[in-house]
Chain A
Amino acid sequence: MNNYPQVLFKYRRPGETILLPEYEQNGGYQGLRKALQMAPKEVCELVKMSGLRGRGGAGFPTGIKWSFFPADQPGDKYLVCNGDEMEPGTYKDRQLLLADPHQLVEGMAIAAYAMQAGIGYIFLRYAYEDCSQRVEQAIAEASTAGYLGKNILGSGFDVELHVHRSAGRYILGEETSLLNGLEGRRPNPRSKPPFPAQRGLFGRPTNVNNVETLATVPHIVNHGQIWFHELALNPESAGTKLFGLSGHLNRNECFELPLGITLREVVEDFGGGVRGGKKFKACLPGGASTPFLTAEHMDVMMDFNPLEEVKSRLGTAGVTVFDENTCMVAATRNLNQFFARESCGWCTPCRDGLATISWLLDRIEFGQANEDDLAMLKDQVRNIRGRSFCALAEGAMGPVEALVRLFEEEILDHIRKGQCPFR
Chain B
Amino acid sequence: MKELLPQTEIDSFKARAAAIAHPHELIVDLLRAIQAHSGWVPDDGVLLTAETLGVLPIEVEEVATFYDKIFRRAVGRRVIHVCDSICCWSNGADIIAGHLQKRLGIGLGETTADGAFTLLPTCCLGACGDAPAMMIGLTTYGRLTPEKIDETLARERAAIAAEEPQ
Contacts and interface: CB of A to CB of B under 8 A. Distances in A.
B153 interface: no
A167 to B, nearest CB: 4
Contact of B129 (A166, A185, A202, A245): A245
A365 interface: no
A88 B86 contact: yes
B129 to A, nearest CB: 4
Given A90-B126, A244-B129, A168 B69 contact: yes
16 contacts: A89-B86, A89-B128, A90-B124, A127-B126, A167-B31, A184-B23, A184-B27, A184-B55, A184-B59, A186-B63, A247-B91, A253-B129, A284-B86, A322-B90, A338-B85, A338-B124
B36 to A, nearest CB: 11
Interface in A201-249: 202, 244-248
A165 B29 CA distance: 7
A247 B85 contact: no
A129 B127 CA distance: 13
Given A94-B126, A246-B128, A246-B131, A181 B28 contact: yes
Contacts of A202: 21-22
B110 to A, nearest CB: 18
4 residue pairs, one from A and one from B, having the closest CB atoms: A184-B24, A168-B69, A167-B67, A88-B85
A138 interface: no
A342 B123 contact: yes
Given A167-B28, A167-B32, A184-B22, A334 B89 contact: yes
A266 to B, nearest CB: 14
Interface residues of A, number: 51
A342 B29 CA distance: 22
A247 B63 CA distance: 34
A184 B28 contact: yes
A166 B68 contact: no
A184 B26 contact: yes
Interface centre among B27, B59, B63, B122 (most CB of A within 10 A): B63
Nearest to B85: A88
A280 interface: no
A186 B86 contact: no
Given A165-B29, A322-B90, A334-B89, A184 B126 contact: no
Contacts of B125: 127
Interface in B76-116: 84-87, 89-91
Nearest to A166: B28
A128 B86 CA distance: 19
B50 to A, nearest CB: 12
Nearest to B65: A186
Contacts of B84: 334, 337
A29 interface: no
Contacts of B62: 186
A396 to B, nearest CB: 13
A185 B87 contact: no
Contacts of A85: 126
Interface residues on B, range: 35 or more
A300 B90 CA distance: 24
A164 B135 CA distance: 20
B87 A88 contact: yes
Contacts of B122: 168
Given A85-B126, A90-B126, A167 B85 contact: no
A165 B32 contact: yes
B21 A338 contact: no
A341 interface: yes
B66 A91 contact: no
Contact of B25 (A90, A91, A125, A184): A184
Contacts of B161: none
Contacts of B123: 86, 88, 170, 338, 341-342
B38 interface: no
Contacts of B63: 184-187
A409 interface: no
Contacts of B68: 167-169
B90 A326 contact: yes
A320 B87 contact: yes
Contacts of B67: 126, 166-169
B94 to A, nearest CB: 10
Contact of A338 (B25, B70, B86): B86
Nearest to B28: A167
Given A284-B86, A337-B84, 16 more contacts: A88-B128, A89-B86, A89-B124, A126-B138, A127-B127, A166-B28, A166-B67, A184-B26, A185-B63, A186-B62, A202-B21, A246-B87, A288-B124, A318-B128, A320-B86, A322-B90
B140 interface: yes
Residue of B21, B68, B84, B85 ringed by the most chain A CB atoms within 10 A: B85
